[in-house]
Amino acid sequence: MLIAPQMAVVLIFFFWPASQALYQSVLSQDAFGTSTEFVGMENFNRLIADDTYLASFKTTAVFSALVAVCGLSIALLLAVMADRVIKGSSVYKTLLIWPYAVAPVVAGVLWLFMFASPFGVISYLLQAMGIQWNHLLNSTHAMALIVAAAVWKQISYNFLFFLAGLQSIPKSLIEAAAIDGATPWRRFWTIVFPLLSPTTFFLLVINVVYAFFETFGIVDAVTQGGPGKDTAILVYKVYYDGFKALDMGGSAAQSVVLMTIVVVLTVIQFRFVEKKVQY
- Looking at residues 8 to 27 of the shown chain, list those that interact with another protein (rule: CB under 8 A): 9-18, 20-21, 24
Residue ranges with strand state E in the chain: 27-29, 36-38
Site for another protein in 244-273 (CB under 8 A): 248, 251-252, 255, 258-259, 262-263, 266
Distance CA 264, CA 269 (A): 9
Site for another protein in 197-216 (CB under 8 A): 202, 206, 209, 213-214, 216
Of residues 106 and 144, the one with the C-beta less far from another protein? 106
The torsion defined by the Cα of 217, 220, 222 and 224, in degrees rounded to 10, comes to 160
CB 141 within 8 A of CB 133: yes
Distance CA 186, CA 29 (A): 61
Distance CA 67, CA 76 (A): 14
Which stretch in 44-52, 64-72, 129-137, 239-247 sits in contact with another protein by CB under 8 A? 239-247
Site for another protein in 117-176 (CB under 8 A): 118-121, 123-125, 152, 155-157, 160-161, 164, 171, 174-175
Which stretch in 39-47, 56-64, 131-139, 240-248 sits in contact with another protein by CB under 8 A? 240-248
Reference 260, options 54, 18, 10, 53; nearest CA is 18
Residue 275 CB, shortest distance to another protein, in Å, is 16
Q: Contact between 188 and another protein (CB under 8 A)?
A: no
Cβ neighbours, 10 Å, residue 114: 16
Residue 129 CB, shortest distance to another protein, in Å, is 13
Residues 6+ apart with CB under 8 A from 100: 153, 156, 157
Contact pick of 63, 201, 217, 232 for another protein (by CB under 8 A): 217
- The type of residue at 78 is L
Of residues 143 and 217, the one with the C-beta less far from another protein? 217
Distance CA 234, CA 240 (A): 10
The DSSP bridge pattern shows strands 36-38 and 27-29 to be antiparallel
CB 57 within 8 A of CB 261: no
Residue 38 CB, shortest distance to another protein, in Å, is 17
Residue 41 CB, shortest distance to another protein, in Å, is 18
What is the total residue count of the chain? Answer: 279
Contact pick of 66, 67, 112, 204 for another protein (by CB under 8 A): 112
Contact pick of 77, 131, 136, 137 for another protein (by CB under 8 A): 77
Of residues 93 and 229, the one with the C-beta less far from another protein? 93
Site track for another protein across 80-109, x = CB under 8 A = -xx-xxx-x---xxxxxxxxxxxxxxxx-x
The torsion defined by the Cα of 65, 70, 72 and 74, in degrees rounded to 10, comes to 180
Site for another protein in 45-64 (CB under 8 A): none
Of residues 33 and 51, the one with the C-beta less far from another protein? 33
